[in-house]
Chains A and B, each alone.
Chain A
């Protein structure tokens, strides 16, 4: 919850403090008899953007949801700065999904509703909504029904909504996979801006170009295991595993 005694901080001028490092220890997730996440051990220390990549079905989305706490692991744990995630930590996280999920209300109301869920009072809410819409370039559309926006605008709105919650950690699950280049650019700009303000961004992406543009380090998943985790430059120039090599060269990785 936003600290009611802290001075009103504009979305655009505060510095986040994400609880790093993230330590994933012995993580296992089984469903329907299958081991979707198969004993993952990894550590994320960088304060810059981390990309999670891998072929379809590798378990990237599941891993993201496990980190965000939307699902519980079958075994293992995830520690944030040495502690497991609790309620207050969950409130400092936000997620944007592959397809924009917006309520049947106006653009502004969608952001306002999310702030309301976090207990933000009405007066503060109005200001936060304004700032969020400004950030996303959607002030003109504030009163429009959110669901008549274009795909790119909707996703920008989802991102703005997530940012308005003042998160320390931002998860994104292939946010631009179905968007046009202009919208993708807008989203990427917002992510770089978020990174500048100290927010830890963890991004699942299919798009190698996007990963090159944004990521500082890349975690490569295959069959539910992390088979590579390096600085992005090293990863793209010199992939260690056969799977990664195949993936980066555009082949179908079985």
Chain B
């Protein structure tokens, strides 16, 4: 019996060692961690452009996709080398407070208001996003909000403000704050026949549209700018400054910008590169 017991123990130990050996316990160093947003992740952009960067430089890019607020918080903690989000005022604050080295424009896309084809608030085709939101509030038609302090959420809040409406009065009634990423919020919107504000990238690649359509688009106020920042190595010495900067340089270079522009879903371009040379 002793021999068999030892055999079983030996097998277990061997398996454990094998697991450890290959689970990155002894990880190599050639990678950076990029804190970015769920909307960018869900659009599929990273799957398209990152392999090009890795092929060129040999640096692996590990994307952690959370909300803008959390991405910036993680950057403050030094739990990432680069931050790529879409909330310019917060990004500038991040740099001003000394957490980031410099903010660079990378690309923009736009937000759209999507909703059920039945369009209970009658907003289809409107060119003014604030007007559309005001109509939704008046009709008390269901509206799903990110509610998670993300870039999208901040943009949405700004639009309500400009429209002179406080939607939170109807929170839980017609204004549904999901506290989730874009995809989860879209699922909720579709499930509840609610309107929602989404970035076009996530919307185009979202596979559960269930008869929903883009109802309002093109308003310049729906413009959505993305910025990329290197986490300041002075604040967090373990940040991979060189590799992180290489990524930023590539993103803002002609090559990186071309890669961004070339990403299409159903023939439609999702993101529009607008990095300014020399910045």
Contacts and interface: CB of A to CB of B under 8 A. Distances in A.
Interface string B1-32: 10000000000000000000000000000000
A105 B1 CA distance: 10
A109 interface: yes
Which secondary structure dominates where chain A touches chain B?
mixed
Interface string A107-139: 001000000000000000000000000000000
Nearest to A143: B1
Contacts of B1: 105-106, 109
A109 B2 CA distance: 10
Nearest to A109: B1
Interface residues of B, number: 1
B2 to A, nearest CB: 9
A106 B2 CA distance: 12
Contacts of A109: 1
Nearest to A108: B1
Nearest to A122: B2
Contacts of A106: 1
A105 B4 CA distance: 14
A109 B1 CA distance: 9
A106 B1 CA distance: 10
A109 B5 CA distance: 14
Interface in A83-110: 105-106, 109
Nearest to B2: A122
Nearest to B1: A109
B65 to A, nearest CB: 51
A105 to B, nearest CB: 8
A115 to B, nearest CB: 14
B1 to A, nearest CB: 7
B82 to A, nearest CB: 59
Interface string B182-213: 00000000000000000000000000000000
A92 to B, nearest CB: 28
A100 to B, nearest CB: 21
Interface in B46-60: none
A105 B5 CA distance: 13
B88 to A, nearest CB: 69
Contacts of A105: 1
B103 to A, nearest CB: 68
Interface string B63-76: 00000000000000
A11 B1 CA distance: 25
A129 B1 CA distance: 15
Interface in A39-86: none
A63 B269 CA distance: 92
A109 B4 CA distance: 14
3 contacts: A105-B1, A106-B1, A109-B1
Interface of A: 105-106, 109
User: Which 3 A-B pairs rank lowest in CB-CB distance, beginning with the nearest?
Assistant: A109-B1, A106-B1, A105-B1
